[in-house]
């Protein structure tokens, strides 16, 4: 059933201070609204619990990106289309570009934003596994000021975030440290385009003299939150072997907590997650650095 429109409100502030003051006056009452590609679906289904929204689309300073020697910093309102089209992201953060290409169709990519994808906090979102691989940090702002928090640890439970009700995400910062890592991203859904993930896998490894000296594994849709698999990563050290692939696949199954739902089954998700890990590892010997397999 459709929602009753007069029960919902939206304001469109032009200044960040104005938005933050509104949020500070009534903490939790006003929710930031970016591209709306998730929120509007709930509205149409009559399931939108929040009532008051602040469009952050017109705020200055939430779009675009900056580059320093150590970081690339992306505004929270950067759309998926903009992410795909940004050369430095293609060169140094290809997994994020792949995630951006595989989220929805063009119309969704034109509206959907990186900040919105994070704050919507879906465990099936496509960008979080990439952000976990890259050690992303988030800048949270409120009327009281700004603070940086690591993205790992930001999601603390299903749709629960380490963010106060009067805060919003202003920037996403990526350390420029993975350029020479071999990188892999694969999303498995019902069809190739525009499906919501059954499993989404991002991996990166530093390979030196035929041995792995650093590894990152993160998955979507296999736990209540986007999951970095540190115990699996710990097994990926030294020369690649059949034993290493088997042991890490076994560990991965212990580390994830997939469920049965309308998109897939726990068993399928676990098996596919393991096969994606295997494909990533086998590809390490052939994929050039910095390119997603």
Partner 1 sequence: MPETAKLAVSFQVNGQPHTVEAYPMARLLDVLRRDLRLTGAKEGCGEGECGACAVLIDDELVNSCLVPVAQVEGCKITTIEGIAGETLHAVQEAFIECGAAQCGICTPGMVLAAVALLERHSAQPTEDDIRSGLAGNLCRCTGYMRIFEAILQACEKRAGADA
Instruction: Give the footprint of partner 1 on this chain (CB under 8 A).
Output: 3, 5-12, 33, 35-37, 40-41, 43-45, 53, 55, 57, 81, 101, 104-108, 110-111, 192-194
Report yes or no: 125 and 151 within 8 Å, Cβ to Cβ: no
Distance CA 242, CA 276 (A): 15
Nearer to partner 1, 44 or 70 (CB): 44
Nearer to partner 1, 101 or 152 (CB): 101
Give the nearest distance from C-beta 279 to partner 1 in angstroms.
22
Give the nearest distance from C-beta 132 to partner 1 in angstroms.
26
Nearer to partner 1, 79 or 232 (CB): 79
3-state SS string for 210-256: CEEEEEEEEEECCCCCCEECHHHHHCCCEECCHHHHHHHHHHHHHHC
Give the nearest distance from C-beta 257 to partner 1 in angstroms.
27
Nearer to partner 1, 110 or 162 (CB): 110
Question: What single-letter DSSP state applies at residue 113?
Answer: B
Give the nearest distance from C-beta 3 to partner 1 in angstroms.
8
Backbone angles phi, psi at 78, to 5 degrees: -65, 125
Listed residue (186, 168, 206) closest to 289, CA to CA: 206
Nearer to partner 1, 12 or 234 (CB): 12
Distance CA 52, CA 25 (A): 13
Give the nearest distance from C-beta 229 to partner 1 in angstroms.
30
Angle at 74 between CA 73 and CA 76, to 5 degrees: 135
């Amino acid at each position: 059933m459709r929602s009753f429109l007069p029960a919902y409100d939206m304001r469109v502030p032009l200044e960040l201070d104005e938005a933050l003051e509104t949020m500070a006056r009534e903490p939790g009452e006003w929710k930031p609204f970016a591209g709306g590609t998730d929120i509007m679906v709930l509205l149409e289904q009559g399931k939108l619990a929040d009532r008051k929204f602040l469009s952050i689309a017109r705020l200055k300073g939430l779009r675009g990106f900056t580059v320093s020697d150590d970081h690339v910093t992306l505004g929270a309102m950067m759309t998926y289309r903009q992410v795909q089209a940004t050369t430095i992201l293609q060169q140094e953060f290809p997994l994020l570009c792949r995630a951006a290409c595989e989220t929805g169709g063009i119309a969704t990519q034109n509206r959907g934003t990186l900040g919105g994808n994070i704050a919507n906090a879906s465990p099936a979102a496509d960008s979080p596994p990439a952000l976990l691989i890259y050690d992303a940090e988030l800048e949270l702002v409120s009327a009281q000021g700004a603070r940086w928090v690591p993205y790992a640890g930001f999601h603390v439970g299903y749709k629960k975030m380490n963010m106060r009700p009067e805060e919003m995400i202003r920037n996403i910062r990526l350390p420029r440290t993975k350029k020479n890592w071999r990188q892999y991203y694969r999303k498995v859904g019902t069809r190739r385009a525009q499906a919501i993930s059954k499993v989404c896998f991002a991996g990166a490894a530093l390979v030196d003299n035929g041995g792995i000296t650093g590894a990152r594994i993160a998955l979507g849709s296999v736990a209540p939150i986007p999951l970095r698999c540190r115990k699996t990563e710990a097994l990926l050290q030294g020369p690649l072997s059949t034993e290493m692939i088997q042991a890490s696949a076994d560990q991965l199954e212990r580390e994830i907590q997939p469920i049965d739902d309308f998109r897939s089954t726990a068993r399928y998700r676990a098996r596919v997650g393991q096969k994606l890990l295997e494909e990533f590892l086998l590809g390490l010997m052939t994929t050039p650095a910095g390119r997603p397999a």
